Structure 1
Amino acid sequence: MPAAPPPLASYVESWHPRPVTDGDDLAPGPAAALSAVLNLPAPAAGPGDPLPPLWHWLHFLTWPAHRDLGADGHPLKGHFLPPVPDRQRMWAGGRCEIAEPLRLGEPAERVAGLASVTAKQGRTGELLFVTERREFRQYGRTCLVEEQDIVYRSGRGGAPHPRELDESAFPHPGDPWQVPLRPDPALLFRFSALTANAHRIHYDAPYCRDEEGYPGVVVHGPLLALLMLETVRRHAPDRRVRSLAYRLRSPVFAGERLTACGTPAGDEAALRVATHREERHATAEVTFQAP
């Protein structure tokens, strides 16, 4: 009988990557490109214009050499990639505190560090939760602080289902804010290019079915998060987001009609992504700055 594999925590006991600082000029091109991809009103056009919440994901990108990618399209090595064999990766959610918006055309600095690493037992096996913390600064001022939660597992036992991450209910009394979208493979391909994401689950249907256990091409988790925040920009353009927390719960697949929904309540709003299959593929809570 083969020996049981070592626990995931054993691979990261001595893994303590140091913080990394890099810069970006926040050129306006990526924001204009994303607006075109999603048929959205352009949020910013030139130097000094503020970026909407989470649109900084279009910047500070890295492009490893193609030979350095694994079979799944992800880099084989990376500063904040845990040394776990045969990794499978899923973006689970995150949080963001916004003191002031980042502004286009002005030099920005990002300081990224490892916040926490936690091993947990899920329904499909052991999971490793890695949280990366990032601070974004312009002219010496901290504008935005973000945490991203990434979940890893080892082996080809099927991707961890997001429901393993959070079983709590998310109540919603109604959805006066709505933004519909039907993402097709071309849209997902363009979004992958804009975010330097080569993960094959977003464009390779046979790989999705045969290797990762999905029935079709998967819509990007960051795209679902951006769409939830788009309900705020469309329906409450004068409200400034002070903080947000989002959770990616279950996948949406290419070709499905989805709706990003929002319900305001005073200085807060509850957001979600729904399809005909499920009411809460992704959820978010937003807090607005007081008037």
Structure 2
Amino acid sequence: MADLDTYLEEWEPGPVTDTDSLDPERSQALAAVLETPRQLFGETELAPLWHWVYFQEWPPHSALGSDGHPTEGHFLPPIPDRRRMFAGGRLNITQPLQLGQPAERTSSLAQVVVKQGRSGEMVFVTVRSEFRQGGALRVVEEQDYVYRSGESTTKNPHSERPRQVPESTSEWQLEFTGDPVRLFRFSALTANAHRIHYDEPYAREVESYPGLVVHGPILAMLMTELARRSRTTGRVATVDYRLRAPVFAGEPVLVTGEPETDSARMAVVTAPDAVMAQAEVGFE
């Protein structure tokens, strides 16, 4: 196979702009899935990262590949047998988006880099999105994706971890176990048809996971939500998160937080002490 750089030589997708009405019903549905306490569900302001249930894309069913992802997409790199992983991102909130008011999102390709990993070449793509209401810039987001080409050469590389809640001395703590029903509901809310989240035979036999995979965005939201519900003053202004390893359905995790003066260090850990995700949440 040719080097992945070869496929990307003329790939320069331009910016795209779309809009959404930000209807409150979708936020209410997400609050039910995450079991967000009523006092934290804003009637007018969109909570940090909750824009992920808005600005959705629903391609025709015939446009999906065997993995459930679209076969074509504006910011999908043109490499053969593409496999995608959500790696992390950054969020900066100048002012929260307001529910029930039209919002505009302009997305552009911020960076594309080919790197050599343990399983071969990988393409790192960063997409930057700016969110405006009434012409005013309110939120800026960058999302990092990693793509590889072809099947994994290692089958079932993920060993079983202890099915117990980790212990921690962190000041903020939240236990969580993803189950298939919650994963299915979150997939529906975010228009995510990737089969690793709801089709266990596919996840095991094709993508070599030991079970259904908990969505990376759920882990990022859990860390942000724990910081938001635990902090007594100020609002979330920034979120910088990194997804380090997959979490699987039925696997208990502990979301932890260590508050600092104007920020908090967050993590998702499994027993005995493996870190699956990390975040730095800043307050204003």
Query: Could you tell me the TM-score, scaled by structure 1's length?
Result: 0.90
Equivalent in the alignment of 2:96:
101
SS of 1:97's equivalent in the other structure is strand
User: Which of the numbers 190, 199, 208 marks the counterpart of 1:204?
Assistant: 199
Cα distance in 1 for partners of 2:37, 2:184 equals: 20
Cα distance in 1 for partners of 2:273, 2:251 equals: 11
Shift of 1:154: 0.3
Gaps of 5+ in 1: 162-172
Q: Does 1:12 align with 2:17?
A: no
Equivalent in the alignment of 1:251:
246
SS of 1:212's equivalent in the other structure is coil
Report the residue type matching 1:233 in the other structure. Answer: R
Q: 1:277 to 1:193 in 2, by over 3 A?
A: farther
Equivalent in the alignment of 1:167:
none
Shift of 1:39: 1.8
Q: Does 1:178 align with 2:173?
A: yes
Shift of 1:158: 5.5
User: Which of the numbers 113, 116, 120 marks the counterpart of 1:125?
Assistant: 120
Cα distance in 2 for partners of 1:287, 1:182 equals: 26
User: Which of the numbers 14, 30, 35 marks the counterpart of 2:31?
Assistant: 35
Report the residue type matching 1:31 in the other structure. Answer: S
Equivalent in the alignment of 1:168:
none
Q: 1:142 to 1:158 in 2, by over 3 A?
A: farther
Deviation per CA, 1:257-288, whole angstroms, max 9, x where unpaired?
Answer: 11211110111110000122543100001121
Aligned length: 273
User: Which of the numbers 74, 79, 90 marks the counterpart of 2:85?
Assistant: 90
User: Which of the numbers 18, 22, 26 marks the counterpart of 1:22?
Assistant: 18
Cα distance in 2 for partners of 1:210, 1:68 equals: 23
Equivalent in the alignment of 2:162:
none
Cα distance in 2 for partners of 1:23, 1:44 equals: 23
**Is the contact between residue 209 and residue 215 of structure 1 (CA under 8 Å) also seen in structure 2?**
yes
Q: Does 1:189 align with 2:154?
A: no
Query: Could you tell me the TM-score, scaled by structure 2's length?
Result: 0.92
Shift of 1:38: 2.1
Equivalent in the alignment of 1:51:
46
Q: 1:231 to 1:9 in 2, by over 3 A?
A: same
Shift >4 Å, 4+ stretches: none
Q: Does 1:271 align with 2:266?
A: yes
Shift of 1:178: 1.4
Provide the aligned C-alpha RMSD in A: 1.9
Percent of matched pairs sharing the same residue: 55
Shift of 1:239: 2.2
Q: 1:9 to 1:174 in 2, by over 3 A?
A: farther
Matches within 5 A, 1:132-147: 132-147=127-142
Shift of 1:174: 4.5
Cα distance in 1 for partners of 2:31, 2:120 equals: 39
SS of 1:201's equivalent in the other structure is helix
Shift of 1:44: 3.6
Cα distance in 2 for partners of 1:64, 1:158 equals: 30
Q: Which moved more, 1:275-284 or 1:226-235?
A: 275-284
Cα distance in 1 for partners of 2:9, 2:232 equals: 46
User: Which of the numbers 195, 214, 221 marks the counterpart of 2:216?
Assistant: 221
Q: Which moved more, 1:273-282 or 1:137-146?
A: 273-282
